[in-house]
Amino acid sequence: MIRLEFAIELKYEIADNPADFVFNIHAAHTSWQSVFAEALSLSQPVETAMHADAAFGSRYLRFRAQPGALAVRYDATVDITHHLEPPARIQEVPIAGLAPEVLPFIYPSRYCQSDRLRRFAAREFGHLRQGYWRVQAIRDWVAQRTTFTVGSSNVSTSAMDTLVEQVGVCRDFAHLMIALCRAVNIPARFVTGIDYGAPQSMGPPDFHAYVEVFLGSRWYLFDPTGISLPMGLVRIGTGRDAADVSFATMFGSVKSFAPVISIDAVDDPAGGFTLPGHCVDAISTHGEPAMSR
Amino acid sequence: MIRLEFAIELKYEIADNPADFVFNIHAAHTSWQSVFAEALSLSQPVETAMHADAAFGSRYLRFRAQPGALAVRYDATVDITHHLEPPARIQEVPIAGLAPEVLPFIYPSRYCQSDRLRRFAAREFGHLRQGYWRVQAIRDWVAQRTTFTVGSSNVSTSAMDTLVEQVGVCRDFAHLMIALCRAVNIPARFVTGIDYGAPQSMGPPDFHAYVEVFLGSRWYLFDPTGISLPMGLVRIGTGRDAADVSFATMFGSVKSFAPVISIDAVDDPAGGFTLPGHCVDAISTHGEPAMSR
Amino acid sequence: MIRLEFAIELKYEIADNPADFVFNIHAAHTSWQSVFAEALSLSQPVETAMHADAAFGSRYLRFRAQPGALAVRYDATVDITHHLEPPARIQEVPIAGLAPEVLPFIYPSRYCQSDRLRRFAAREFGHLRQGYWRVQAIRDWVAQRTTFTVGSSNVSTSAMDTLVEQVGVCRDFAHLMIALCRAVNIPARFVTGIDYGAPQSMGPPDFHAYVEVFLGSRWYLFDPTGISLPMGLVRIGTGRDAADVSFATMFGSVKSFAPVISIDAVDDPAGGFTLPGHCVDAISTHGEPAMSR
Amino acid sequence: MIRLEFAIELKYEIADNPADFVFNIHAAHTSWQSVFAEALSLSQPVETAMHADAAFGSRYLRFRAQPGALAVRYDATVDITHHLEPPARIQEVPIAGLAPEVLPFIYPSRYCQSDRLRRFAAREFGHLRQGYWRVQAIRDWVAQRTTFTVGSSNVSTSAMDTLVEQVGVCRDFAHLMIALCRAVNIPARFVTGIDYGAPQSMGPPDFHAYVEVFLGSRWYLFDPTGISLPMGLVRIGTGRDAADVSFATMFGSVKSFAPVISIDAVDDPAGGFTLPGHCVDAISTHGEPAMSR
């Protein structure tokens, strides 16, 4: 089992009028990721509401803050179990066999216009043998074609832009891989989190975005940026694309400052906790009920 | 109560290989719309799977069809109850007061880029007094600015295109109204159905797309095209935009023919069924649980 | 020499008010294309103005027409001389060596966003040996990747759309090839005309769009659709992309009907006129003054 | 007469291989703007080529630089004469009356998609009385709707984006105004230069972009940002939009630093030079030959 400890510090300055916030920064509650300890502190005495998404375990924190400074700090220790599977055993699922909960993830979304990429994806990936390796080929194609450049994209950048311009940050890599998977009828979705194990050359820890693809009877993890260790990924939000799982949504006149994030892994083999490492197997932290027909 | 009888006939030609279909053509099951009778017939002997979306009552039919011709016919008789409310009593709901189920409908989606329309919407509608009338003003603005022209848009056309080009069909009107509502923090969603009562000058009956906006504690109906009688609308699919609720999604090489649709209203006051008519009140056919904090 | 005889018939219906027209349907006057005979007839008694573009030999006809029907017929017989060159001898020209008249054709334009394709083009074509063969490789890449489908694009479709969607008509093929050439610093431009020799399976003769690329000291012809015989192309308009050389631009409320076009080649070897044929050499019908430094 | 003295300092760092540069930083030579003195200095001993555009007086400097640092400094003193005209006398020109040289400026271009704005522009400005005041109304509409925000746009931002998002920098204001003018059949073009007289709150002097509109028999100046004094504008480049007149175009791997610009006006009434001031008349620094029919 992997135990990760992380902290997220956010700062805002609210102008003249109260502003509403929706945060999606809590570690998700799933059967593969349990929260051992967590703490939230807010610099303003606000009344908060929290709700969890039953399907994904995502948690949303909402409140109204007053003009002036706002600081939000969230600390958590999470324990993550990984399902490992040899890639050769993992098959794609025909449309007719997808559970209803999975079906929405083959459709286009705000930033993943898979409807416009059908010919492109068919030409590049249509002839490959189906299975985990085809998805891995899509992931590698995105990784090789796209240059990671901070500041190269903005909140309007979509998979189509990234396909053409071949540059972006983690959300752009994820959007492009998702769009290409859906374009060949493979369900794919967008996950946000914090990652342990990125090389220091990538700068200080930050929010990360990665991909889950539905194969066999599970959602498997892929990181097309190649930055993270997939075993070192904490799940926060899960959705169709970045439009669903922004870590902070603000309604009002608010100035944001850069998040400050730290993460560590517990190295205690005796206690049952090993450091995240590289892994040749496919990794999943989310199963799915079988389709009932 | 309104009783509507309608039929949908769809025809396809499938090329060399079997193709998967997902249909969303069944009348939705909700507490306001009950299906008195229905029948489905398929020209191929296929094994079908049906599942219903718990939140919206939408029903999805899936099957794999063989090469050759495929005909699908669906007949239904539905009874619809309307909640009517004087507009003056209907308030907007602050972000902090929205139920979690409603919250997703303030975010941008594939065809409704509300994130890019915030300044535009604030300038046009930000100063208006909040409430039902503000939404009606948005609806009227879209209706007055946009010309209904068959063939003027395609499946890639989004709210941003329609805002600029000022021309479109029903889905484009709906996308633009939805995007503008969300841009001023009002939850809005996309509904597909069949409409009774469109003038004959609009051509033969067809699938229709319209808008639901969340106000007070309910979803209220709006038709920015002005084509339909809102009381004569049957609900089929409900989603964030057209990407969620296509009436037919095909996976494979399939040629589609134009749908043939008919609809009639039962005129039997003694039996409790009146014809759909104009109505000055706000109309809702979908409530929502109160927010639990 | 090639002698081609063609006719263009255009029909319009003008609504309530007079409308202005600009036509670019006359065969261009260049040192390689001479007009042996031509005739223009208009169904309305209008005063016309004609002006020629000195750089390209394009001719523009302008007039104001009255409400009602308008028919335009243009007949021409043109003689075309071709400069043929073995591809192996043709080099690319460094930026520093381009004549000022050529320089504008390395910049992006309305439909050819070469600025956004730099990385893409560098990856696909940056490593190829420079010269005519590199441009031929770009032409072949576009030809192989793009499916010719009537009705698949519209007047807003740009090179970026065609790159992603891989479908289009002749103007889309041309825009994509032009954008890719400019993205690797090779000047390229858009030519409209009529083509002799397209297979009957492509339907009746129509306006055609093709590409000229500047190499060595000349503009060489390429047709990425592969539909035409390059030796059978008549030049009408020359510009940066379709925004510059529409065959008809209307200002007012005008309904257009489909053009009717015919073309024939004179087969009179004794008189010096041979039929257009296939040719392994590079073909040019437009030289350029050397750069004066 | 106005005499302005300005200096432009540019710095680049060229990576491994030689890189080609095209600069458009010299003051244009026109009959209304004469260059009293100028000096160019380059930090590398390169062979340069200069050519001037006959139509606009723009001058283009080209050279190939070697790896390492490159500094470019241009100093100039220019004398500008203004044609002033009472707005009430200035009429729009019908399409049929436009000189051939003016005609290209009614067509759409890379960043000014006037073809897509026809309905929008007709609704907003179609009913206004024609003439200078209509153009002034378009200018005021853009100025009032658009917020000047440094960093809010990028090199891909077009008039359509700015119309929807209502934010931008000077080039975006100019593109939107140009697109709206062309959409109601008024020729408009893009001018780059340096401006004297911007308030200090706008930061240090920088390159500026503004608009020329063809009315009567001349091109009149408009600055939709409202930042500059139109009488204090130096003309450098003139084109259809920013794609034509970038102040620096680089071919190769080059890092750019922010330009450093200074400008001053000569206050010497005895010598015939007055400071640029506000002016109620329409201002033109570019006439055009009458149309020859």
In tens, the pLDDT along D187-202 reads 999 999 999 988 888 8
Q: DSSP character for A95?
A: G
Residue C22 and residue C49: Cα distance in Å, rounded? Answer: 10
Handedness of CA B174, A177, B60, B262 (dihedral sign): positive
Query: Which of D155, D251, D291 comes nearest C185 by C-beta?
Result: D251
Inter-chain CB proximity C63 and D20 less than 8 Å? no
In tens, the pLDDT along D130-143 reads 999 999 999 999 99
As a whole number of angstroms, the longest Cα–Cα distance in chain C is 59
For residue A51, pLDDT over 50 is answered with yes
Min Cα distance D166 → chain C (Å) is 21
Inter-chain CB proximity D104 and C64 less than 8 Å? no
% of chain A beyond a pLDDT of 90: 82
Q: What is D90-240's CATH number, 3.40.50.10800, 3.20.20.30, 3.10.620.30, 3.30.1360.120?
A: 3.10.620.30
Q: Which residues of C touch A123 (CB under 8 A)?
A: 145, 166
For residue C289, pLDDT over 90 is answered with no
Min Cα distance C125 → chain A (Å) is 14
Residue D73 parent element (H or E) = strand D68-80
Residue B66 and residue A134: Cα distance in Å, rounded? Answer: 26
Min Cα distance D257 → chain C (Å) is 20
Q: Are strands D282-287 and D59-65 parallel, antiparallel or unpaired?
A: unpaired
Min Cα distance C47 → chain D (Å) is 10
Inter-chain CB proximity B96 and A244 less than 8 Å? no
A278 in contact with C, Cβ within 8 Å: no
Q: Residues B67-76: what's their mean pLDDT?
A: 98
Structure-token pair, residue C216? 């060595």
The answer for C 48-107 residues in CB contact with D (under 8 A) is: 49, 51, 53, 60, 62-64, 94-96, 100, 103-104, 107
User: What are the backbone dihedrals phi and psi of residue C115, each rounded to the nearest 5 degrees, phi first?
Assistant: -60, -30
% of chain C beyond a pLDDT of 70: 98
Q: Which residues of B touch A116 (CB under 8 A)?
A: 156
CATH number of C83-243+276-287: 3.10.620.30
Query: Which of A117, A145, A160 comes nearest C123 by C-beta?
Result: A145
% of chain D beyond a pLDDT of 90: 82
Q: Residues A167-186: what's their mean pLDDT?
A: 97
Q: B49 in helix, strand or coil?
A: strand
Q: Residues C32-47: what's their mean pLDDT?
A: 96
Task: Calculate the average pLDDT of chain A.
Answer: 93
Structure-token pair, residue C43? 């169904």
Query: Which of A20, A60, A110 comes nearest B110 by C-beta?
Result: A110
How many CB atoms neighbour CB A288 within 10 A? 17
Min Cα distance A119 → chain C (Å) is 6
Q: Which residues of C touch A147 (CB under 8 A)?
A: 119
Min Cα distance D19 → chain B (Å) is 38
Inter-chain CB proximity A120 and C165 less than 8 Å? yes
pLDDT confidence tier of residue D156, bands split at 50, 70 and 90: confident
Q: Residues A94-122: what's their mean pLDDT?
A: 92
> What pLDDT shows up at residue A119?
94
D243 in contact with C, Cβ within 8 Å: yes
Q: Are strands C282-287 and C83-85 parallel, antiparallel or unpaired?
A: antiparallel
A141 in contact with C, Cβ within 8 Å: no
Query: Which of D117, D160, D166 comes nearest B119 by C-beta?
Result: D166
Inter-chain CB proximity A166 and C116 less than 8 Å? no
Min Cα distance C194 → chain A (Å) is 30
In tens, the pLDDT along C102-156 reads 999 999 999 999 999 999 999 999 999 999 999 999 999 999 999 999 989 988 8
Q: D220 in helix, strand or coil?
A: strand
pLDDT confidence tier of residue B291, bands split at 50, 70 and 90: very low
Query: Which of B103, B108, B251 comes nearest A243 by C-beta?
Result: B108
Q: Residues A261-290: what's their mean pLDDT?
A: 88
Q: DSSP character for D182?
A: H
**Cα–Cα distances in angstroms (integers) from residue C217 to residues C88, C102, C284, C291, D140, in the given order:** 14, 10, 10, 9, 48
Query: Which of A53, A60, A108 comes nearest B243 by C-beta?
Result: A108
B133 in contact with D, Cβ within 8 Å: no
pLDDT confidence tier of residue C288, bands split at 50, 70 and 90: low
Of A89-98, B124-133, C72-81, C282-291, the least confident: C282-291
Residue D182 and residue D106: Cα distance in Å, rounded? Answer: 5
Buried b (16+ CB within 10 A) or exposed e, D79-94: bbebeebeeeebebbe
B118 in contact with A, Cβ within 8 Å: no
For residue D291, pLDDT over 50 is answered with no
Fold of B91-241: C8orf32 fold (3.10.620)
Residue C161 and residue A116: Cα distance in Å, rounded? Answer: 9
> What pLDDT shows up at residue A288?
61
In tens, the pLDDT along C151-198 reads 899 888 999 999 999 999 999 999 999 999 999 999 999 999 999 988
> What pLDDT shows up at residue C293?
35
Min Cα distance C211 → chain A (Å) is 22
Residue D235 and residue A47: Cα distance in Å, rounded? Answer: 58
3-state secondary structure chain C: CEEEEEEEEEEEEECCCCEEEEECCCCCCCCCEEEEEEEEEECCCCCEEEEECCCCCCEEEEEEECCEEEEEEEEEEEEECCEEECHHHCCCCCHHHCCCCCHHHHCCECCECHHHHHHHHHHHHCCCCCCHHHHHHHHHHHHHHCEECCCCCCCCCCHHHHHHHCEECHHHHHHHHHHHHHHCCCCEEEEEEEECCCCHHHCCCCEEEEEEEEECCEEEEECCCCCCCHHHEEEEEEECCCCCCCCEEEECCEEECCCEEEEEECCEHHHCECCCCCCCCEEEEEECCCCCC
In tens, the pLDDT along C20-35 reads 999 999 999 999 999 9
> What pLDDT shows up at residue D286?
84
Q: Which residues of A touch C123 (CB under 8 A)?
A: 145, 166
Q: How big is chain C by its Cα radius of gyration, in Å?
A: 19
> What pLDDT shows up at residue D93?
95
Q: Which residues of B touch A185 (CB under 8 A)?
A: 251
Residue B6 and residue B60: Cα distance in Å, rounded? Answer: 18
Q: Residues B169-196: what's their mean pLDDT?
A: 97
- Please report, for chain A, the start and end positions of each structural domain, with discontinuous segments joined by +: 89-239
Q: D52 in helix, strand or coil?
A: strand
Architecture in CATH for domain A89-239: Roll (3.10)
Q: Which residues of B touch A24 (CB under 8 A)?
A: none
> What pLDDT shows up at residue C197?
85
> What pLDDT shows up at residue B288?
61
For residue A240, pLDDT over 50 is answered with yes
C-alpha distance across the termini of chain B, in Å: 35
Min Cα distance A173 → chain B (Å) is 18
pLDDT confidence tier of residue C280, bands split at 50, 70 and 90: confident
Inter-chain CB proximity D113 and C155 less than 8 Å? no
Of C283-292, D103-112, D181-190, the least confident: C283-292
In tens, the pLDDT along B11-27 reads 999 999 999 999 999 99
Query: Which of D119, D145, D166 comes nearest B165 by C-beta?
Result: D119
B160 in contact with D, Cβ within 8 Å: yes
Report field, pTM of the whole predicted structure over 0.80: yes
> What pLDDT shows up at residue A292?
37
Of B284-288, C7-11, D265-269, D274-278, the least confident: B284-288
> What pLDDT shows up at residue B289?
47
> What pLDDT shows up at residue A202?
83
Task: Calculate the average pLDDT of chain B.
Answer: 93
Closest-CA residue of chain A to B159: A110
In tens, the pLDDT along D39-87 reads 999 999 999 999 998 889 999 999 999 999 999 999 999 999 999 999 9
In tens, the pLDDT along B208-254 reads 999 999 999 999 999 999 998 889 999 999 999 999 898 999 998 99
For residue B126, pLDDT over 90 is answered with yes
Inter-chain CB proximity D104 and C244 less than 8 Å? yes
**Cα–Cα distances in angstroms (integers) from residue C278 to residues B76, C86, C234, C273, C282, in the given order:** 62, 14, 16, 15, 11
**Which of B21, B53, B60, B62 to mutate to test binding with chain A, by most A CBs within 10 Å of its CB?**
B62
Inter-chain CB proximity A123 and C167 less than 8 Å? no
